């Protein structure tokens, strides 16, 4: 199994070196792709230096801040083009604790998408204010109710995708950028009948630096969910004639830690 961990960065110079060290401590055989959007704080230069002495580290430089969604789509394409089997999404700010990586590898054995979930037993956001819990938790309940999607954490961005399944989606048609991007990907996997699982994660607050998420990103997610409710049949499958699952989706029996459902049926 060849795996690639994609980490988009924008002004993460204070986090990235230590994060890379921790990622390799827990996933030494994985490769890393840092996608830096010309961070003014010099993150890109720093990762170039780290990459020079470690062949597992790859760096993609983009000219300016182009958003999380396009960064991940670029990472997915890189994984497809370079023959990886699994591709991870991970933030650079330690919110996604690298010590959970081994759990993802185990869960990925029977899944096309593994989502690190704050909203199943064992997961959580212990340091959040009640307001932040309400917004994130409420947003997920809203997405579940409106889209009929059974996934508990649709907005979380700590994930592992099976590249064979990803390559069956038309990535050109993915349009969302922020939290909506995560919902859009989860929705397309579910509606395509791919096998998905959630594995619990404890989401930590970022250690240093600032969040890049804005009110605009929340609004984008809200609008995306409502719009998808009415245009829901437009799953972005690359080849509509292919069977739905990458490997024959079945309602496999699931470990108690991971939550799984049968392939998503249209509402
Ligand atoms: N390349 C790139 N990375 C981004 C962009 N926006 C956010 N990021 C990175 O995406 C990850 C998540 O962003 P963050 O601000 O922590 O989001 P939050 O955890 O929801 O507050 C971090 O690693 C950021 O550096 C962007 O436009 N381009
Ligand atoms: Mg963050």
In tens digits, the chain (267 residues) has pLDDT values of: 999 999 999 999 999 999 999 999 999 999 999 999 999 999 999 999 999 999 999 999 999 999 999 999 999 999 999 999 999 999 999 999 999 999 999 999 999 999 999 999 999 999 999 999 999 999 999 999 999 999 999 999 999 999 999 999 999 988 888 889 999 999 999 999 999 999 999 999 998 998 887 888 889 999 999 998 888 656 676 655 544 444 333 333 333 334 444 344 333
Q: Which of 7, 62, 65, 3 is closest to 33 using CA atoms?
A: 7
- Domain covering 3-232 assigned CATH 3.90.550.10 in the classification: yes
Residue to mutate (ligand 1; options 66, 91, 183; most atoms within 8 A of CB)? 91
Binding site membership of 91 for ligand 1 (Cβ less than 6 Å):
yes
Which of 61, 68, 90, when mutated, tests ligand 1's pocket best, judged by the most ligand atoms within 8 Å of its CB?
68
Does ligand 1 lie within 6 Å of residue 67's CB atom?
Answer: yes
Name the residue at shortest CA distance from atom 24 of ligand 1.
9
For the chain, domain boundaries: 3-232
- Comparing CA positions, the residue from 91, 70, 113 lying closest to residue 20 is 91
**Cα(71) to centroid of ligand 2, in Å?**
15
d(CA 154, CA 172): 21
In angstroms, what is the span from residue 178 Cα to ligand 1's centroid? 9
Give the ligand at the shortest distance from the Cα of 38.
1
If we measure between CA atoms, which residue out of 140, 197, 192, 201 comes closest to residue 166?
192
| Alpha helices in 148-214, H assignment, sequence order | 163-166, 179-191
Asked if 221 and 145 count as a contact pair (C-beta separation under 8 A), the reply is no
Q: Best substitution site from 34, 127, 212 to test ligand 1's pocket, by max atoms within 8 Å of Cβ?
A: 212
Whole-angstrom Cα Rg for the chain: 17
Find all residues with CB under 8 Å of 88, minimum gap 6, and list them: 3, 4, 5, 6, 30, 101, 104, 158, 159, 160, 161
């Amino acid at each position: 199994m060849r795996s690639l961990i994609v980490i988009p960065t924008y002004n993460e110079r204070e986090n990235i070196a230590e994060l890379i060290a921790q990622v390799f401590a827990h996933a030494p055989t994985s490769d890393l792709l840092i996608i830096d959007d010309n961070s003014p704080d010099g993150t890109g230069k720093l990762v170039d230096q780290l990459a020079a002495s470690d062949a597992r580290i790859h760096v993609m430089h983009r000219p300016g801040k182009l958003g999380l969604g396009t960064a991940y789509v670029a990472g997915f394409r890189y994984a497809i083009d370079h023959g990886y089997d699994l591709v991870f999404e991970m933030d650079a700010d330690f919110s996604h604790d690298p010590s959970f990586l081994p759990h993802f590898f185990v869960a990925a054995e029977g899944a096309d998408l593994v989502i690190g979930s704050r909203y199943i037993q064992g997961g959580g956001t212990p340091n959040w204010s009640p307001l932040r819990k309400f917004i994130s938790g409420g947003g997920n309940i809203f997405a579940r109710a409106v889209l009929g999607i059974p996934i508990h954490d649709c907005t979380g961005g700590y994930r592992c995708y099976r590249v064979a399944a990803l390559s069956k989606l038309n990535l050109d048609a993915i349009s969302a950028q922020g939290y909506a991007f995560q919902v859009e990907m989860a929705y397309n996997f579910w509606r395509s009948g791919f096998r998905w699982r959630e594995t619990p994660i404890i989401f930590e607050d970022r250690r240093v630096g600032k969040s890049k998420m804005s009110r605009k990103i929340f609004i984008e997610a809200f609008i995306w969910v409502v719009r998808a409710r009415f245009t829901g049949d437009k799953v972005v499958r690359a080849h509509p004639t292919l069977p739905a699952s990458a490997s024959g989706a079945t309602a496999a029996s699931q470990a108690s830690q991971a939550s799984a459902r049968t392939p998503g049926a249209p509402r």
